[in-house]
Amino acid sequence: MKTLKEFDHKKATQAINFLARKEGGKIDKLKVIKLIWLADRYHLRKYGRPIVNDIYFAMPYGPVASSVKDLTSFNFLGDDGDGEEKYLSEYLKQEPGHKISSIKESDTDVFSETDIETLDKIYEKYGSYKASQLVKISHEFPEWKKFKRALEARTITRGPISYSDFFSNPSGKIPGENIFNEPQEQLRTSKELFEENYKIANCWV
Q: pLDDT for 94-119, tens place per residue?
A: 999 999 999 999 999 999 999 999 99
Whether residue 128 is contained in a domain is answered as yes
**pLDDT tens, position by position, 119-177:** 999 999 999 999 999 999 999 999 999 999 999 999 999 999 999 999 998 877 777 66
Query: Looking at the predicted structure, is the pLDDT value of residue 205 above 90?
Result: no
CA dist 176 and 184 (Å) reads 21
pLDDT at position 106: 95
Who contacts 83 (Cβ-Cβ below 8 Å, separation ≥6)? none
The whole-number pLDDT of residue 156 equals 96
Q: Is residue 188 part of a domain?
A: yes
Residue 80 has pLDDT above 70, yes or no: no
Between 88 and 81, the more confident residue is 88
- Whole-prediction pTM value? 0.91
Residue 4 confidence (pLDDT) above 80 = no
47 or 197: which carries more pLDDT confidence? 47
Q: What distance in Å separates the CA atoms of residue 43 and residue 53, rounded to the nearest whole number?
A: 11
Task: Assess if residue 30 is contained within a domain.
Answer: yes
Determine the structural domain holding residue 55 and report its residue range: 9-204
Does residue 20 fall inside a structural domain?
yes
Residue 68 lies in a domain: yes
Average pLDDT over residues 61-90: 85
100 CB-side CA count, 13 A: 30
Q: At what angle do helices 9-22 and 29-47 cross, to 10 degrees?
A: 110
**In this structure, is residue 4 part of a structural domain?**
no
**pLDDT at 167 (0 to 100):** 95
Per the structure, the count of domains in the chain is 1
Within-domain flag for 198: yes
Q: Is residue 124 part of a domain?
A: yes
